Structure 1
Amino acid sequence: MDETMSMLFVFVESTGYLAPFAFILLHLLRSFFFIPVAVICIVGGILFGSVFGTLYSLIGLTFVSITFYILFKKMPSTFKRVIVLKEKWLGSSVNFTIGQIAILRLIPFINFHLLSLCLVEVTRNFRQYVKNSFTTNIPVALFYTVFGQFIREFSTTIIIMILLALTLLFYLLREKQVIIKWDVFFKDKAEKSYL
């Protein structure tokens, strides 16, 4: 983890005035290098400060979300793996609210693109997706940029308390009803009656 952060510091600091653009580009390339979102946001907070680090992280994460949306709509067969991952972990009829997606983005071990897929499913068009994506990226950019550098100093108890608080918020912001399509509901019953 420290080696990754050191390499990111050297990369961004060596670009000089282009550092903000290099940092935003780093957000776009992050998933190819398997670097977690939290690490990039922490580096942004340390290099650019809380305000500009949050702003640059927010821009970078929004560009990542827009790129995901465009690629998903143009090449849906490429994203079958993400769809299978969503159905395996969450089921096919689960729809998260925007608040729940924002909270889930704060949890580092949940895949960013999986949550982008959930966001695609609950939005009607590209404009609404961009607006909701920007909204759900604000907490993760702000939290990890401002408080990220202090996370290493937290005790295990505090980290567990933060995760429990996020779980409680996730439950409170859930969608109160689940809509299951007619054919999906009766498909299971029809299969059982033939057995």
Structure 2
Amino acid sequence: MEEQLSVLFVMVEVGGILAPIIFILFHTLRQFLFIPPILVCIAGGVLFGVTLGTIYSVIGLTINCLLFYAVIHRLPKTHRKLSTLKKRWFGEYRNLTLGQITVLRLIPVFHYHLLNFCLLEKRKSLREFGKSSFISNIPLAFFYTIFGQFISQFSMTMVVIIMFALAVLVYILREKITVIKWREFFKEAPE
């Protein structure tokens, strides 16, 4: 993974005026290289500074989400896997709110595209999904661009406190009402 990030640094240094475009494209390619979005956001802060790094990361992450929207409907096997994973992690009838998805994006252990899938189930149209993904990516890019250098210096107790605070925030932002259709509630159990 360090080799891939060092390739990004070299490409940006050589790219000159094309460096922001290369960085944004790297955000869309990072999923195929199995690089977490957090590391790319941290690299954006190092390469471009806080303001431009955050802006470029938000643009790259939003383009990544829009590509997910375009591709997920064409991959039924991946769609089923994400649906199964969502049911296992969050429950069959639980829908995450935009606030919960935004906070969960800040926690590194959550699958980025699983959260995109949860957002897609809530916001079906491209316009709503694009707007919601843009909004939910802003804290991720901002937090990890600014605090990326300091996070590695946190003690384990500080990390536990931050994760606990984020978990409480996810609970507070939960959807208060769950609607289960009559047929789904009384469906027969498979034998």
TM-score scaled by structure 1?
0.91
Matched letter for residue 102 of structure 1: T
User: What CA distance in whole angstroms lies between the structure 2 residues aligned with 1:131 and 1:30?
Assistant: 22
Cα–Cα, structure 1 residues 165 and 63, in superposed 2: closer, same or farther, change >3 Å?
A: same
1:135-154 paired onto structure 2 within 5 Å: 135-154=135-154
User: What CA distance in whole angstroms lies between the structure 2 residues aligned with 1:156 and 1:96?
Assistant: 28
SS in 1 for 2:177: coil
Structure 2 contact 102–136 (Cα < 8 Å) conserved: yes
TM-score scaled by structure 2?
0.93
Matched letter for residue 88 of structure 1: R
For 1:53, the equivalent position in structure 2 comes to 53
For 1:191, the equivalent position in structure 2 comes to 189
Q: Deviations over 1:124-167 (max 9, x none)?
A: 41111111111100110100011112111111111111101101
Provide structure 2 residue ranges, at least 5 long, that are not aligned to the other structure: none
User: What CA distance in whole angstroms lies between the structure 2 residues aligned with 1:15 and 1:84?
Assistant: 42
Cα–Cα, structure 1 residues 172 and 78, in superposed 2: closer, same or farther, change >3 Å?
A: closer
For 2:111, the equivalent position in structure 1 comes to 111
Matched letter for residue 191 of structure 1: A
> Shift of residue 191 of structure 1?
3.3
Query: Number of aligned pairs?
Result: 191
Q: Deviations over 1:1-27 (max 9, x none)?
A: 655543332232222211100100000
Q: Deviations over 1:71-92 (max 9, x none)?
A: 1234434432222222222232
For 1:18, the equivalent position in structure 2 comes to 18
User: What CA distance in whole angstroms lies between the structure 1 residues aligned with 2:171 and 2:19?
Assistant: 39
Matched, 1:90 2:90: yes
Matched letter for residue 19 of structure 1: A
- From the two aligned structures, give the one with the greater helix fraction: 1
Cα–Cα, structure 1 residues 87 and 125, in superposed 2: closer, same or farther, change >3 Å?
A: same
State percent identity of aligned pairs. 50
Structure 2 contact 94–178 (Cα < 8 Å) conserved: yes
Say what the alpha-carbon RMSD is for the aligned residues: 1.8
Provide structure 1 residue ranges, at least 5 long, that are not aligned to the other structure: none
User: What CA distance in whole angstroms lies between the structure 1 residues aligned with 2:96 and 2:141?
Assistant: 20
User: What CA distance in whole angstroms lies between the structure 2 residues aligned with 1:147 and 1:18?
Assistant: 26
Matched letter for residue 84 of structure 1: T
User: What CA distance in whole angstroms lies between the structure 1 residues aligned with 2:140 and 2:21?
Assistant: 20
Q: Deviations over 1:85-108 (max 9, x none)?
A: 222222321100000000000011
For 2:181, the equivalent position in structure 1 comes to 181
Instruction: State which drifts further: 39-48 or 69-78.
Output: 69-78
For 1:172, the equivalent position in structure 2 comes to 172
User: What CA distance in whole angstroms lies between the structure 1 residues aligned with 2:7 and 2:22?
Assistant: 13
User: What CA distance in whole angstroms lies between the structure 2 residues aligned with 1:167 and 1:177?
Assistant: 19
